[in-house]
Amino acid sequence: MKYKYQIILLGSLGELSEKIISLFFEKVKELKLPINSFMIIYDKNFESNYSGNQPSFVFYFGAKNGDFKNIDLIDRLVKDGALILPIFYTKDLFSSEIPKILENQNGLLYDVTKDDKIINLALESFGKLRQTRKVFISYRRDESTSVAIQLYEALEKNNFDVFLDTHSIKQGEPFQEELWHRMADCDVIVLLNTPEFLTSRWCKEEIAEASAKKIGIIQLIWPNHKLDNTSEFCFPTQLEESDFEEGNFNDKNKSKLKQSFVDELVMKAESIRARNLASRQDSLITEFTNFAVMYGKKVNLQPERFITEELGKNKRRIFIPIIGIPQSIDCNQHAELKRELHEFDIESIYLIYDDVRIRAKWLNHLDWLNDYLEIKTLKKQNFNKWLQQN
């Protein structure tokens, strides 16, 4: 693929910009994306490498002393409509540390807990990571309500779309059905493993469901409890009494984790959601490919992690694994593939997804969209039948 995703670093570069690029490629590796799909551009190679018609994401590193660099290049990128993230360092000093030309951009106040978020914003803009960051909190109401609400508020404050049963289900909605639906669409589960957690049938089923779907679980094990078993998708932390405010971990209505611990958990959730995406894509790709081969299809997994099927005369169908519940915007974004690929003719593009536990009304909506949109969706439970018939 000749198409390149352009990462542009401008402004006052130094140790932070070097760290961000190093972490960016670590994340690309975790997502199993081809490294050569991305191009790093600085001011020195800007004129020779930048292309205004290819996707770009700009990190602009501010200056505490007001000595702003690369204003001419920023002016050009603003006119090109490039996504620009201004990074500044001191609370309430955005306008002092970032040039006026970027005054209307939503900047990011930097601290070390924001490294993953900075990288994920770039990957999201390229469509390599979902733009929605969804977290599901699993807990027992009669053991850990106050901590669940504390984490709900902290994650929401950090731009996560958080599911907490008492806050996220409207009156009149079928409770359990909506709960499974939201879990099917989440990136990470934060599980509060209190002593009686696994005595609940529903809590047990939530873990089993998450494991079956290969959703990453951040498991917080209470100080008076031990981890019995875990899965490869689980990231357990044994809590100590000292992790709680005033050492109080045993009051379902008053216990609170210390702020430093909560900050670390938010950072961990940001990190895990990208790592987990690749394993969930692998699962979908494997299932689809197995059925395709069974029916004699000539399919190949491309480095960009979509599947192509050879149809002859240089024509191919494309199948793209989607994690969570597909949205119409996913169809729109992936229609861009036709513009990016020049090596062969694309007959059609399908978004393949795991439909288990997604509510019927949403599945019906996706089926309805298939009648109108160029990019179609294909349910996992229909892989066998569809590949046999098409």
CA distances from 121 to 33, 48, 302 (A): 16, 26, 24
Q: What is the pLDDT of residue 234?
A: 80
Side chain identity at 352, as an amino acid letter?
I
278-300: b (≥16 Cβ within 10 Å) or e: bbbbebbbebbbebbeeeebebe
Residue 223: count other Cβ atoms within 10 Å of its Cβ. Answer: 15
Q: Do the Cβ atoms of 74 and 103 come closer than 8 Å?
A: no
Q: What is the pLDDT of residue 1?
A: 46
Q: What is the pLDDT of residue 303?
A: 66
**CA 159, CA 79: separation in Å to the nearest integer?**
28
Q: H/E element holding 385?
A: helix 383-389
Q: Do the Cβ atoms of 99 and 68 come closer than 8 Å?
A: yes
Give the strand pairing for 345-353 and 38-41: unpaired
In this prediction, the residues of the chain whose per-residue pLDDT falls under 50 are 1
- Quick one: tokens of 130? 């979902």
pTM assigned to the model: 0.73
- Quick one: tokens of 21? 């690029």
User: Helix, strand, or coil here: 40?
Assistant: strand
- Quick one: tokens of 6? 């352009």
Q: What is the pLDDT of residue 54?
A: 80
Residue among 342, 337, 306, 302 nearest 321 (CA): 306
127-160: b (≥16 Cβ within 10 Å) or e: bbbbeebbbbbbbbeebbbebbbbbbebbeebeb
Question: Helix 175-184 crosses helix 201-212 at what angle (to 10 degrees)?
Answer: 30
Tracing tokens 């401008």 back to the chain, one arrives at 10
Q: Do the Cβ atoms of 148 and 260 come closer than 8 Å?
A: no
Q: What is the pLDDT of residue 120?
A: 86
Partners of 87 in the β-ladder: 61, 108
Q: What is the pLDDT of residue 318?
A: 92
Q: Do the Cβ atoms of 340 and 1 come closer than 8 Å?
A: yes
264: left (phi over 0), alpha (psi -120 to 50) or beta: alpha
Q: Do the Cβ atoms of 219 and 235 come closer than 8 Å?
A: yes
